[in-house]
Structure formats: C-alpha cells, structure tokens
Structure 1
C-alpha cells in the first residue's frame, strides 16, 4: 500500500467560532454540509452519502478549536482528517483549516471536493 500524502486547505469563514465549531463536530452540524446524514455512538461517527456509509472515530478535539477524525477502514495509520479554526490576530478573520490525506494522484480531486463542501458550509452559514 502506498502511503498517503498530507495536504491542507484554508478557507476564510468569517463567522463566530461558537457558531462554526458545532458545524464541524456535531452530527447535526456535519449533516448540514459534509454528509447527507450523520449518526454518533460515543466517539464513533457514521457518515451517510447517497446510500453509502463510512465510519470514522473522533480521535481528538478541543472545543472551538479543532476536531480530528480517522476513517475506520483507512489502512494508513497516519491518515486522518481535521477541521481546525484559527483567528488572525491582526484582522480577526476566522479561517477553517482542513487537513486531510490522499494518495498522491488523488490530492487535486480531494482538494476540489473540499472546496465544494466548504462552499456548502459557507452557504449554510450565510457567508
């Protein structure tokens, strides 16, 4: 198995962190923009898309800062996806930094998919 490569995407989301964070860490928030539906059982999140499902474990979080998930079926032990919120000290702009892993030839497709998903997030936030 080829090891996946890590990549980051940063998006300006100028909205209150206390409004954005639940969109990144709760089943109802994630089902608004990331998946069709999301169920939670402890730290296990089940994501549904067009009848298919994927299961991820919430492996780390800090309220209003970040949420990190690992796909259960991902064989790469280093791979995860993370939503992190940052605030620029000078401008007070809030940014969402998404960290993900993909096979080298799939990184551009993965970035485009995140662009689409974050556009949906911004739309749902009214920004």
Structure 2
C-alpha cells in the first residue's frame, strides 16, 4: 500500500524565523520538541532521533534551504517518494510566521499522524513561548 501525502499548517504568530529554523534543523532545537535525543553523523546529513531511550529512527536531510525549509527522509522508509518537510514562511500582510509540515502516512493512519504532529507542534510553540 502506498503512502498518502498530507500537509498541515500552523500559525506561529510573531515567532522569530531564526529561532524556528534552529528548532527544525539543529540538534539542540530538535531535542526540545521533536525527540528525546538527537545525534548527527560525521557527514552532517544523517540524524538519529531517539524517543523513550530505546526507540530510534534515522533520517537523512535530502534538501535544505536555510532559513525556510528542510526535508528529511527516514532511512527505513519503504516508499521511495515519502519524506517529511518543515517549511517556515513569513506572511506578507501581517508579518506573522507560519510553520508547515508535509508528511506521508498509510491512509488508515493519517488522522493519527496529524494528531501526533499537532501534539508535537504544541510542544514546539510552548518551547518558543508562543
């Protein structure tokens, strides 16, 4: 079964674009909201994300456009088209920042995946003081 792409967007108010970029692309930032522990290999392209001390997954950066977007691909992903991407945009009219996530999931797990991202982004907002 192929995975289904989905896109969700969150209003981040007056969050700093640089602060948000650190949270989605740097080890210390990702440790604050995305995983309990994050390490990076010597090539600076393979991240190991660990949750609950023993649940780990590795992802590679497949594209990066600082300070607006970063795309990761899980190394154990069977679907060659699947990835997850974080995109930071500044709205022209209000100057507010939006945080967009694109991800893939099995169709029957899509609502669970969206709920998990919503929970994670709430943690991100809390860490950013939003």
Q: What's the TM-score once normalised by structure 1's chain length? A: 0.97
Corresponding residue number in structure 2 for 1:55:
58
User: Partners of 1:47 and 1:55 in 2: how far apart?
Assistant: 6
Q: Please give the residue correspondences for 1:115-126 in structure 2 after superposition, counting only pairs within 5 Å.
A: 115-126=118-129
Corresponding residue number in structure 2 for 1:21:
21
5+ unaligned residues in a row in structure 1: which ranges? none
Classify the secondary structure of the residue corresponding to 1:18. helix
By how many angstroms is 1:91 displaced? 1.1
1:39-75: CA deviation from partner (whole Å, max 9, x where unpaired): 0012000000112100000110111110100000001
User: Partners of 1:111 and 1:7 in 2: how far apart?
Assistant: 8
Corresponding residue number in structure 1 for 2:2:
3
User: Partners of 2:56 and 2:30 in 1: how far apart?
Assistant: 14
By how many angstroms is 1:93 displaced? 1.3
Instruction: List structure 1 runs of 4+ shifted beyond 4 angstroms.
Output: none
5+ unaligned residues in a row in structure 2: which ranges? none
1:69-123: CA deviation from partner (whole Å, max 9, x where unpaired): 0000001000000000011111111000000000000000000000000000000
User: Partners of 1:105 and 1:93 in 2: how far apart?
Assistant: 34
Classify the secondary structure of the residue corresponding to 2:94. coil
User: Partners of 1:105 and 1:32 in 2: how far apart?
Assistant: 29
The alignment of Structure 1 onto Structure 2 pairs a total of residues equal to 126
Q: What's the TM-score once normalised by structure 2's chain length? A: 0.95
**RMSD of Structure 2 on Structure 1 (CA):** 0.6
